[in-house]
A and B are shown apart, each in its own frame.
Chain A
Amino acid sequence: EPEVTQTPSHQVTQMGQEVILRCVPISNHLYFYWYRQILGQKVEFLVSFYNNEISEKSEIFDDQFSVERPDGSNFTLKIRSTKLEDSAMYFCASTYRGETQYFGPGTRLLVL
């Protein structure tokens, strides 16, 4: 069964550094998402991406964040200058028509 994959599984970085989180969505899916989950809190929507552009973004998704689909398979989330409060689990998700979203295993980001 096809699945969403994410790399790396864990990332430790220093405050102020740039990080890129990578996702490979399910191959025939058209809509892509990033969510995050701060430890002990609920899963929060960050951004949705369709037809090579952002379709919606949350208040969390400020100018420090960007997304890209550089080729036909990868979907990346870049944080330009990480802050302590960016420490969280980041989930990528994809869907074919926008109904059922399938999630990747997540990347645990720790900012020191």
Chain B
Amino acid sequence: AQSVTQLDSQVPVFEEAPVELRCNYSSSVSVYLFWYVQYPNQGLQLLLKYLSGSTLVKGINGFEAEFNKSQTSFHLRKPSVHISDTAEYFCAVYGGSNYKLTFGKGTLLTVNP
């Protein structure tokens, strides 16, 4: 079974500041890792994913994440955030013989002017 821990439920930052949203996972098998973003009153949009290969993956809207197998982490980063990045961000893991995604509880990123 897999589990995902998002360490911060809320992260407030000022516009143009850097941000890191933390995600740790546990799994007994190799995993695929994802970040999804949910804007207010909208569905889930894929931000980026790690399937294999380079541990640094780049996604949409200037976000990137680094897969660290030894620390079982997949933290999301952006060097300079915009007001429009205000949203809920979900880390998710998929692996093993089942096909479901297991989500973390989400991190609400609030970008203030």
* Contact surface of A with B, Cβ cutoff 8 Å: 31, 33, 35, 41-45, 48, 50, 55-56, 58, 91, 93, 95, 98-106
CA gap between A99 and B102 in the complex, in Å: 13
Which of these, B44, B51, B94, B105, contacts A103 with CB under 8 Å? B44
Given contacts A42-B90, A105-B42, A106-B43, contact A99 B101 (CB under 8 A): no
CB-defined contacts of B105 to chain A, threshold 8 Å: 41-42
> Chain B, interface size: which category?
20 to 34
Given pairs A45-B101, A99-B51, A103-B46, 17 additional interface contacts (CB within 8 A): A33-B100, A41-B105, A42-B104, A43-B106, A56-B98, A58-B100, A91-B44, A93-B101, A98-B99, A99-B94, A100-B34, A101-B94, A102-B46, A103-B36, A105-B42, A105-B43, A106-B43
By Cβ-Cβ distance, the 6 closest A-B pairs, closest first, are A105-B43, A103-B44, A45-B100, A43-B103, A42-B105, A106-B43
CA gap between A42 and B9 in the complex, in Å: 11
Instruction: Return the chain A residue nearest B92 by Cβ.
Output: A43
Q: What's the A-B contact tally at a CB cutoff of 8 Å?
A: 58
Instruction: Return the chain B residue nearest A50 by Cβ.
Output: B99
CB-defined contacts of A103 to chain B, threshold 8 Å: 36, 43-46
Which of these, B43, B90, B102, contacts A45 with CB under 8 Å? B102
CA gap between A50 and B102 in the complex, in Å: 18
CB-defined contacts of A102 to chain B, threshold 8 Å: 46
Given contacts A99-B51, A103-B36, contact A56 B99 (CB under 8 A): yes
Given contacts A91-B44, A106-B43, contact A99 B32 (CB under 8 A): yes
CB-defined contacts of A41 to chain B, threshold 8 Å: 105
CB-defined contacts of A101 to chain B, threshold 8 Å: 94, 101
CB-defined contacts of A56 to chain B, threshold 8 Å: 98-100
